[in-house]
Amino acid sequence: MTRITKRPKAPDAAPPRVQLPAVIEAAPAPEHAHQNFDRAARAALARLSGGVSTHAFLQAWSDWAQHLARAPGRQMELAEHAQRNLVKLMAMAASPGSPPPFVPKAHDHRFDHAGWQETPFRLWQQGFLAVQDWWDHATEPTRGLSREDAERTRFLARQTLDVLSPSNFPPLNPEIVAETASTGGRNLAEGAAHFAHDAVKTLTGERDPPPEGYRIGTDLAATPGTVVFRNDLFELIQYAPQTPQVQARPILVVPAWIMKYYVLDLSPGNSMVRYLVGQGFTVFMISWCNPTAEQRDLSLEDYRKRGVMAALDAVTTIVPGRPVHAVGYCLGGTILAIAAATMARDGDDRLCSVTLMAAQVDFAEAGELLLFLDESQIAFLEDLMWELGYLDRPQMARAFAAIRAEDLIWTRAVQRYFLGREDVPTDLGVWLSDTTRMPALMHSQYLRGLFLENRLTAGRFAVEGRVIALKDLSVPLFVVGTEADHIAPWRSVYKTKLFTDCDLTFVLTRGGHNTGILSEPGRKGRHFRVSRRPAGALYVGPDAWLAQTQPVPGSWWPHWADWLTAQGDGLAAPPGTGAEDKGLAPLGPAPGTYVLQT
């Protein structure tokens, strides 16, 4: 942190200016060999633990246990709860045809098989759910126990129970028993082959090639376009027009760099890019590089200045005289908000609107990802990145999977290793497996400055030595949250309303972090809620907003396209591809080369 030393000043002297860093910098590598040895030892431990520090979880268990130990009333309450659950189980066992007293959670599909309703599997399932119910009650926040420790304890209890679920043990799982009987055990042999294959991949770090029908550039990321700009950080794709005339104001899309951009350009049927181009928009897409150890010093400011701003410079060169619709997804939306606030502060008026999709600007309620983040955890990751130069793919993948372990880890394991079933390829599944790395410096700055310190909405995030404020934004905002998002919870995304005063349209759509954004017209079961807050209107909290906003059937994409058109400037002839006379010559066809980096 910046250290300010007080000095006496003359009576008429102006107060000194304090230059604030954009984020807290990662601690420099210690010079003493013994301290470097400590970091190397911790990095080795981090590799073994998947990058997860045990300190916070041990502290959480200790905090929970100590508060429970000195609360005899709470102990009696938990004992009574256990007794009630036991009575329910006994009553169910005595009446086999009675309704089950416990039901799995909405996202838990481990007990979908009909065999779980038959004896004795029904009793094992209900016993597990009864224990799960007790632990959910036991880890509720109590007086004196910090909310973070209560949530961490619940998370750990859930992880432990997921390991011990009867669905994970072949003799206790009716689906495995039935499959083994019908195939003569072939499912177990095929599952063992799958396990051996996956173990080799994990140990070697190799990845399977995309399955047939899911090749990048042919089946996925296949919207026609051209790379018109490239630096060491990103390639800029300009998509070919599909209509005789286009909206005069172009769109620049800033995806997250934690994954590759083509989640927004998957198969032709659910490609957001293809939809926008088909609606007459000129679309530009940033395709980030997959950083290597040599790029360990890429910073958050690099992603803003040499990423977002360099792309904006290129777009306004190719389409001169037109302000730009800026669109940011996930982490790309966060850096876009930072860039837009900086532009507003500096009087840069090249944006006509900003769309933030599943993107957070305030991280006080950032969901279960916060369970992994405290000073100990970030220091642990910094030691790991100090050795490698980046945060590697497995660490991030495990963290995201652990949040929904019952579905993303254990259900898949049962299907693959005990039932012998191959993973069914999907375009989204192929994209999810195509993970990227995170450069050490940038990731440390992001975790400390945004997640841990929450500097952006606390008024302590500075760019080029001066603080920025989201309240400086005056262009219309279109903010999208998704109902089941466990990475950027919608109530956290909704808080963009709390820190801005401009015209803002908020959409809450059905689905998760990815599936809620991929909501092409015609998909069954889709709905969304939408409302507009005029500039300067009073704030309405998320729960009150939800209660007064009715769902609208269908996809939110057409509503967004109409909103973009309303912020536009009419139709015009399609712009040329690149601007060769201005140093932006076409460099090759989309999807470019960076998306293929492994």
Q: In this predicted structure, which of 116-130, 150-164, 506-520, 529-543 has the lowest mean pLDDT?
A: 150-164
Q: Which of 149, 184, 139, 160 is nearest to 56 (CA)?
A: 149
Residues serving a catalytic function are 330
What is the token pair recorded at 122? 């029904």
The answer to whether 351 touches 324, Cβ cutoff 8 Å, is yes
Token pair belonging to 559 = 């509503």
Tell me: the pLDDT tens digits for 216-244?
A: 999 999 999 999 999 999 999 999 999 99
List the structure tokens of 190.
């095929």
pLDDT given at position 46: 64
DSSP 326-368: EEEETHHHHHHHHHHHHHHHHT---EEEEEEES--S--TT-GG
Q: Is the pLDDT of residue 13 over 50?
A: no
Tally of residues, the chain: 598
Three-class secondary structure assignment of 77-140: HHHHHHHHHHHHHHHHHHCCCCCCCCCCCCCCCCCCCHHHHCCCHHHHHHHHHHHHHHHHHHCC
The predicted pLDDT at position 26 comes to 44
**Which of the four pLDDT bands, split at 50, 70 and 90, describes residue 396?**
low
Q: What is the pLDDT of residue 7?
A: 38
- What is the pTM assigned to this prediction? 0.87
Mean residue pLDDT of the chain comes to 89
User: Could you read off the pLDDT of 483-535 as tens digits, one per residue?
Assistant: 999 889 999 999 999 999 999 999 999 999 999 999 999 999 999 999 999 99
Burial of 427: CB neighbours in 10 Å, binned 0-12, 13-18, 19+:
buried
* CA dist., res. 383 & res. 395, Å (int): 13
Please work out, in degrees rounded to the nearest 5, the angle formed at the alpha carbon of residue 73 by the alpha carbons of 67 and 78: 85
- On whether the CB atoms of residues 246 and 282 are closer than 8 A, the answer is yes
Distance between CA atoms of residues 480 and 564, nearest Å? 14
CA angle 39, 44, 47 (to 5 degrees): 125
Binning pLDDT at 50, 70 and 90, where does residue 291 land?
very high
pLDDT band at residue 12 using 50, 70 and 90 as cut-offs: very low
For residues 63-72, one letter each, b for 16 or more C-beta atoms within 10 angstroms of the residue's C-beta and e for the rest, the string is bbeebbeebe
| Number of CB atoms found within 10 A of residue 118's CB | 12
CA 54-56-57 angle, 5° bins:
65
**pLDDT of 356 strictly over 60:** yes
Domains of the chain as residue ranges with CATH: 55-182 (no CATH), 211-364+463-574 (3.40.50.1820)
CA distance 579 to 589: 15
- CB distance 443 to 450 below 8 Å: no
Closest C-alpha to 377, from 58, 151, 156, 53: 53
Tokens of 337: 């908000």
Res. 115: pLDDT tops 70? yes
**What six digits make up the tokens of 45?**
């431990």
Beta strands in 138-254 (DSSP E): 225-230, 234-239, 246-247, 251-254
- Name 229's bridge partners: 236
